[in-house]
Homo-oligomer: A and B are copies of this chain.
Amino acid sequence: MGNSIITISREYGSGGREIGEKLAKRLGVEFYDKEIITMLAKESGLSEEVVRSWAEKDVSAFFYGINAARGIIPIPDRIFGARRTVLNELADKGSCVIVGSCSDYILKDRDNLWKFFIYAPMDFRKKRVAEVYGEDLATYPNLLKRKDEERRDYYSHFTSYKFGDYKNYDACFNSAIGIDNVVDLIEYMVKKG
C-alpha cells in the first residue's frame, strides 16, 4: 500500500470513527481522531475546551459575526487555520487514518490520499448514538438533524465542497451493511491500490 493517507468523512452516528480505528489497526498505521483536538489547541493557542466547543459549531452564529465585524480573526477561523498546519504535519509523518476534520479537503492535493465517506440510515444512526454515546434521543429528538446541519454548514463554510457529495470520494459506504464489512472493503482497496 506504500505511504497512504486515508481520510474518513462521516455522518454523525454512522460508525465512521470505529471504522477508522479498526482500519488503522488492520493496516498497522497511526489513527488520528480525538487527539487532533489537543494538537489544534496547541497550534491555535486556544484551550482544548474552547477548541472542542467550536470545532464543528455553527459558523453563522451571532458571535462569529460580531468578531468578524470587529476585525478579530474569529475562533472558528483560527481553529481551521490550525487544522491545516496540524493535518499536514500528521500526513508528513507517514501512513495514517484521519477521521473528520475536513481532512479530505485540507489534504486533497496529496498523491497518496484515499477519501471515504460513511453514512447510514437515520434509524441505524439513532440506535447507534443511543448505544455508543448513551445519548437519550427522546430528550434530544433533533440531535441528529442538528449535527447533520452543523457538519454540512461547517464543511461548506471552510471548503469549496459540498458535504457528502460523492464526487469528492473514492467510495462511499452505507455502514448498515456492517461496520466490519466496510473495514474489509476499505482494507482491500487500500492494499490493492
Is residue A63 within 8 Å, beta carbon to beta carbon, of the partner chain?
A: no
Q: How distant is A163 from chain B, measured CB to nearest CB, in Å?
A: 11
- Return the contact of A170 from the options B177, B184, B192 (Cβ within 8 A): B177
Mark out the residues of chain A between 167 and 193 whose CB falls within 8 Å of any chain B CB in the assembled complex. Answer: 167, 169-174, 177, 181, 184-185, 188-189, 192-193
A170 vs B178: C-alpha distance in the bound complex, in angstroms? 11
Tell me if A119 is interfacial: C-beta within 8 Å of chain B: yes
Majority secondary structure of chain A interface residues (helix, strand, loop or mixed): mixed
Verify B184–A177 contact, CB threshold 8 A.
Answer: no
Which residue of B is nearest A120, CB measured? Answer: B167
Instruction: Give the contacting residue for A167; candidates B119, B167, B189, B193; CB below 8 A.
Output: B119
Q: Which B residues are CB-close (under 8 A) to A161?
A: none
A169: chain B residues within 8 A (beta carbon): 172, 174
Question: Which chain B residue has the least Cβ–Cβ distance from A182?
Answer: B171
Asked if A74 lies at the interface with its beta carbon under 8 angstroms from chain B, I say: no
Contact of A192 with B181 at beta-carbon distance under 8 Å, contacts A172-B166, A174-B169, A174-B171 already known: yes
Q: Mark A97-115, 1 if CB is under 8 A from B, else 0.
A: 0000000000000000000
Are B189 and A188 touching (Cβ within 8 A)? no
CA distance A174 to B189 in the complex (A): 12
Chain A residues engaging chain B, CB cutoff 8 angstroms: 117, 119, 121, 164, 166-167, 169-174, 177, 181, 184-185, 188-189, 192-193
